[in-house]
A = this chain, B = another copy of it.
Amino acid sequence: MSGIRKRILIVGGGAVGPKVASRARRLDPEADIKIVESGKYVSYGACGMPYYVSGDIKNADELVVRTPEYFKKLLDVDVLLETTATSVDRTARTVLCRDATGREFTLPYDALVLAAGAQPAVPPLEGRDLSGVFKLKDIPDMLAISDYVKKEEPRKAAIIGAGLIGLEMAEAFRAKGMGVTVVEMLNWPLPAMLDEEMASLVSRQLDEQGVRLVLSQMAKRFDGTQGGRVKRLVTDSEAIDCDLALVSIGVRPETSLAVQAGLEIGLTRAIAVNERLQTSDPAIYAGGDCVECRHLITGRPVFAPLGSTANKHGRVIGTNVAGGSDTFAGVCGTAIAKVFDVAVGRTGLTEVEARQSGFDVVWSIVSQTDAANYYPGAKRITLKLLADAKSGRVLGAQCVGRGEVAKRIDVVAAAISGRMDVKALADLDLAYAPPFSPAMDAVHHAANVVRNKMDGTARTVSPQELKKKMEGRSDVIVLDVRTDGEWKLSRIDHPSVMHVPIGKLAETDVGFCEGKEVVTQCLSSVRAYAAQKILEKKGCKDVKFLDGSLSAWPYGLKE
C-alpha cells in the first residue's frame, strides 16, 4: 500500500468511531478516514442524557462533544450523518450505504470498523406505540422525552426496569415533579449489579425519595386514552396509572451488519473479537457496545456495554487500523450510578456471580465514614468485599452510600487488575488525611475483616442471612451491645433481639446463650467483634457478629 492512502471506514459515530478516527489520524497522517453514522449526531455524551431530562444540563448542545466540521478541519476525517451501512461485501471490501435521501452507494475499505453500539431491548408489549411511551437510546429519544415533559406536563411516570438507566431516569422524573413507579421483574433493584443486601440499601433510598419500587412483577401491556396517549401500565399483578412510561430493561448489541457479513457472534450474542479487537475477518474490527469483552476474573466473554470501555476500544482499534499494534486487556464489570443522594458502585463479581463461576466466596460488609469520623461533613458508605476463600484473591466489591463511593470501587478495580489478594489490599498505601479518608479506610477495614474470617478469628453473618435466620428459627439470639442511649433511639424490632451494653457484658451471666446461635451487633461492628471475643472467653460456643451491624442493616429499624 506504499504511496496509496489506506482507507479506514468506520460504521458508527458514537464513542468508539470518533476515537478510532482521532487515534488513527495521529498515527497515519495520510489515511482516508470516514465515519458513517445513521443518526443525526456524532460523538455525543450518551451517558449524560438523564441529566438533560432532569434539567441539570440546560443545553442539549453540551452533550455533543464534536461536530462533523471539527472532524474535517482538525483531523481531515469525513463524517457522513444520517447514512446507514446496509451490507458488507468482504471479498470486494466494500460497504453498501444509504443516505437520508435514499441514495445508495458503496464505500471501499482496507480496514473496516464496526461500532454501531447497542439498541434498547424493547419487549413486544401491547401499547408500546402509544404516545408517552419512550425508550432512551440517543439524542432524538432524549429530546422527545424532554419535549413531551414540557408540553404534556405528565404527573405520573412508570418505568420498566430498575437498572442503571431506569433509576437515573426515576431521579430525572422526580426532579420534574412527577410521581414515579419503577417495575422490576427480578427480586431487587440493580439486579445485574448488586447482591440482595446491598440492593436493599438502594431500595431504602428510593423509598426515601418517594419512588415506588415494585419488585418481582412482569410488565404485560400499556393501556391508552382514546387520544392514543398512555394511561396505564399493566403488570402481572396490578395496574399502574401513568401518563409517561419508559422502557429500560437493558440493551442488545447492534450486530445486524456483522450477522449479514457472516462474522462470528459470541455466546453473549455480541460480536466476538480477539485481543486486538479484530472480528473473525482480520480486516474488520469491532468495538464498544456491539462486542463482547473478556472478564478479567473469569476469563469468560461478557457483554458489558459502557462508554469508558468504548473509549478504550477506540484507541486500541485506532492504533491497529493505522498499522500499529495494541490490545485490550478486558473488563472486570465495574459500574457506578448516582441514585438520588447515594452513589452505588460495584466492580468484579457479585456474590451471586462468584458462586455461579465456581468460587468458594468469603465476604465482609463494613460501614464507616468516607472521611475521618470527626471531620465535618464526613458521610457514611457501606462496602461489601468479596474474595476467594482459598487464596484470598479479591473477587469484587459493592459500595453504596452518601459518601465517596467511586474511589473505593476504583481502588478495588485496580486491585482486581493487579490480581491482588486481601492481604495486598489491606497493605495498600492509600492517601490519608482527615478530609479524605479515615486512617484505616473502608477498603483496608473490609480486607482485614475478610482476613479475620479466613483465619477463623472472626465469624460473621450477613444481614441477609440474619434476616433468614430470624424468620425461620427460634434458637438464634441477636445481641445488641450498644449503650442504653443508642438502644433507646433505634433497634432491630424482633423477639430474637436482646440488649446488653458491652460495658456490662463481662459481668453478665450469659447462660441464656447456651445451645443458641448468638449474633452480636452494634453500630459499625467494632464493638460487636469485641463482644464476640468476650462471649467466647466466657465459654459461648457459637458466636458470630453481624456484618456492618446496624449501619449496613437494610431492613429497617424500630425508632
Question: Which residues of A are in contact with B by a Cβ distance under 8 Å?
Answer: 15, 22, 25-27, 29, 45, 47-48, 51, 56-57, 62-63, 73-76, 164, 296, 306-312, 315, 328-338, 343, 345, 347, 372, 374-376, 404, 406-407, 409-411, 413-420, 424, 426-437, 439-441, 444, 448, 457, 502-503, 506, 527, 529-530, 533-534, 536-537
Contacts and interface: CB of A to CB of B under 8 A. Distances in A.
A439 B74 contact: no
A463 to B, nearest CB: 23
Given A420-B418, A527-B74, A413 B431 contact: yes
B45 A310 contact: no
A69 to B, nearest CB: 8
B311 A440 contact: yes
Which one of A312, A328, A338, A448 has the greatest number of beta carbons of chain B within 10 Å?
A312
Nearest to A504: B73
Nearest to A328: B427
Contacts of A25: 533
Nearest to A427: B329
Nearest to A27: B457
Contacts of A76: 506
Contacts of A56: 375-376
Contact of A436 (B311, B336, B376): B336
A275 B376 CA distance: 36
A555 to B, nearest CB: 27
Given A25-B533, A51-B434, A73-B502, 11 more contacts: A45-B434, A56-B375, A57-B375, A307-B432, A308-B432, A308-B441, A331-B429, A335-B431, A347-B431, A406-B407, A410-B411
A118 to B, nearest CB: 15
B533 A296 contact: no
A427 B417 CA distance: 9
Given A413-B429, A429-B413, A57 B311 contact: no
Nearest to A63: B374
B503 A73 contact: yes
A523 to B, nearest CB: 14
Which one of A411, A415, A428, A537 has the greatest number of beta carbons of chain B within 10 Å?
A428
A118 B333 CA distance: 43
Contacts of A417: 418, 420, 424, 427-429
A430 B334 contact: yes
Given A311-B440, A433-B336, A48 B424 contact: no
A29 B536 contact: yes
A303 to B, nearest CB: 14
Contacts of A333: 429
B308 A429 contact: yes
B437 A51 contact: no
A336 B334 CA distance: 26
A247 B537 CA distance: 49
Nearest to A337: B433
Given A45-B374, A47-B434, A406-B436, A332 B503 contact: no
A413 to B, nearest CB: 5
A502 B457 CA distance: 64
A517 to B, nearest CB: 20
A344 to B, nearest CB: 10
Contact of A437 (B164, B406, B503): B406
A195 B51 CA distance: 38
A317 to B, nearest CB: 14
Contacts of A503: 73-74
Contacts of A433: 47, 164, 335-338
Name the 9 nearest CB pairs between A and B, nearest first. A418-B418, A308-B432, A414-B414, A336-B431, A407-B407, A329-B427, A62-B374, A307-B439, A29-B537
A75 B530 contact: yes
A330 B439 CA distance: 16
B432 A48 contact: no
B343 A436 contact: yes
B429 A309 contact: yes
Contacts of A335: 431, 433
